[in-house]
Amino acid sequence: MTTQAARVREMFGSIAARYDIANHLLSCGIDFSWRERAARIVTDWHPHSIADLATGTGDLALALQKKLPDAEIAGVDFLQPVLGDAMNLPFGDGSFDCVTIAFGLRNLENCTAALGEMSRVIKSNGHLLVLEFSLPTTPILRALYRFYLHRCLPLLGSSLTGEKNAYDYLGDSIEEFPSGEAMCQLMVENGFTSPTFKPLTGGIVTIYTATKQ
């Protein structure tokens, strides 16, 4: 495990016990609707097998299971090294109809390599869905969100979890993450076709979808 990967794992491990409640409070509960929207998209693909990566406490996996009770869903939690590595998933080629990852791709050391590995485990004509934080494109909203992200969120997150560094990192990682057309291009370069992106809640999160070639 590299130093960066270990640092991210340690940060998220330190707030795991309060991670869900903090997310729900800091997003004013909107995060439920984001996952619900993602689950509806996946449902329209009618997958029989799904790998939910960076599953954490399983919020997206549970939303998927409610809509697709007959689907086999494998959750991979990168906080537990024995359960999976984004660059070396513990599955054979073409194992799943669909791969999902919510708020996890941004935290991986090499998201390009991770996309390639996701492509490997998806069946031909299968699907990928990525739900991830992003920055609004509207200038005024973008400026206001950046102020909240870098000035307010670390203080609020620290009061809820006792770990300010994790929320400082959150803002920085959102700024650095390739979003919109840049993410779609990365998908194409790693074996996917027909990439799309849909900003939600003014663009503070984005849902990306693509099809495996």
| Location of structure tokens 């869905």 | 129
Whether the pLDDT of residue 75 is over 80: the answer is yes
Instruction: Give the other-Cβ count within 10 Å of 26's Cβ.
Output: 18
- Flag the least confident range among 58-72, 82-96, 124-138, 180-194: 82-96
Whether the pLDDT of residue 4 is over 80: the answer is no
Question: Which domains does the chain possess?
Answer: 3-134+178-212 (3.40.50.150)
pTM of the entire predicted model: 0.88
Specify which residues 205 forms β-bridges with. Answer: 133, 200
- Flag the least confident range among 21-35, 61-75, 96-110, 178-192: 21-35
